[in-house]
Amino acid sequence: MKIFKKNIIFFISILLFFIKCELPSPPQESNGELIFIDDFNGNEINTSKWKHDIGNGSYGWGNGEIQFYQPENTSVSNGTLKIIAKEESGQNIVNEWGNPLNYTSSKIKTDGLFNFRYGRVQAKIKTLEGVGFWPAFWILPSNSDWPCDGEIDIMEQLWVFNGNSNISTGAAHVGNCPYSPSNHQYKSFQKNISPERFSEDFHIYEIRWEPNYIAWYIDDEFVYSVTPEDYSSEYEWPFNRGQWYLILNLAITNSGPNDNTQFPSQLEIDWVKVYN
């Protein structure tokens, strides 16, 4: 009986050894080298790191948005960056068809000042409440065509029907050029929190990006990932090429705010970091 028990223990030990060998090891977490940081400790935007996109863009930046982007809606104070949405009718600001735009906001980017590919990309952000607001933290490649050169949305909170910021999303877009709805594909997620809202406090929105792999994290919690196999084979994976830049903006959706949407309202950013 003792010999039998010893044999059982021996075989279990061997089995556990091989099982352990077959299981993949978890990746070793490392921030890597910090290659970009802005902690907004001054009293104005750092123009060696950020530049403004100004105006209304073609077809409202491609989405029919109804805000006009201007530098005046960006401020830095008390250690944070504020991007402020305002209702400003009667300012003689129009879109490309001459229709008035009654809202202003800001959009900033690092294109030409800081460009990169791969790494951990993070921002600590406090979002906002209100129907019609569309805050975003995202990246695009320089000198690119859309969607064939890709887009990575690290954080978006799009509120069309209700203004509650209890859902955050992220996505990665691929496709062929020129754009049409039939030659574009994206993969996305929704992260829900309840009863809290993302606008009640700062949260860290992040991607961890390497060749053939992008993963999203919120407050260091893994929420989603994509690889080339997740997309149709008719589209090339664009995320292994090009030099990419950071974007922060607060848009107003083409469906517009409702009577409960408060102006001015702000998107607040504590810091932005990129590790290689």
> What would the pLDDT profile of 110-136 be if each residue is shown by its tens digit?
999 999 999 999 999 999 999 999 999
Residue 161 to residue 184: CA distance in whole angstroms = 25
- The encoded tokens of residue 244 equal 């990419």
Q: In what order do the strands lie in the sheet with 167-175?
A: 51-52, 107-109, 244-252, 133-141, 151-156, 167-175, 184-192
Instruction: Name the fold adopted by 32-275.
Output: Jelly Rolls (2.60.120)
The one-digit pLDDT tens for each residue of the chain (276 residues) are 433 333 434 443 444 443 333 333 334 456 789 999 999 999 999 999 999 999 999 999 999 999 999 999 999 999 999 999 999 987 888 888 988 999 999 999 999 999 999 999 999 999 999 999 999 999 999 999 999 999 999 999 987 677 889 999 999 999 999 999 899 999 999 999 988 999 999 999 999 999 999 999 999 999 999 999 999 999 999 999 999 999 999 999 999 999 999 999 999 999 999 999
The predicted pLDDT at position 125 comes to 98
Write down the domain spans for the chain. 32-275
Q: How distant, in Å, are the alpha carbons of 73, 120, 226, 238 from that of 162?
A: 24, 32, 29, 34
The predicted pLDDT at position 99 comes to 87
Residue 76 to residue 199: CA distance in whole angstroms = 19
Count of other CB atoms within 10 angstroms of residue 146: 16
Determine contact, residues 197/165, Cβ cutoff 8 Å: yes
CA 184 to chain centre: 19
Residue 259 to residue 76: CA distance in whole angstroms = 29
Count the alpha carbons within 13 Å of 73 in the hemisphere toward its beta carbon. Answer: 29
Determine contact, residues 243/111, Cβ cutoff 8 Å: no
Determine contact, residues 67/103, Cβ cutoff 8 Å: yes
Q: List, for residues 196-209, the tens digit of each pLDDT value.
A: 999 999 999 999 99
Please report the sign of the dihedral spanned by the C-alpha atoms of residue 94, residue 95, residue 101, residue 104. Answer: negative
Q: What is the pTM of this model?
A: 0.88
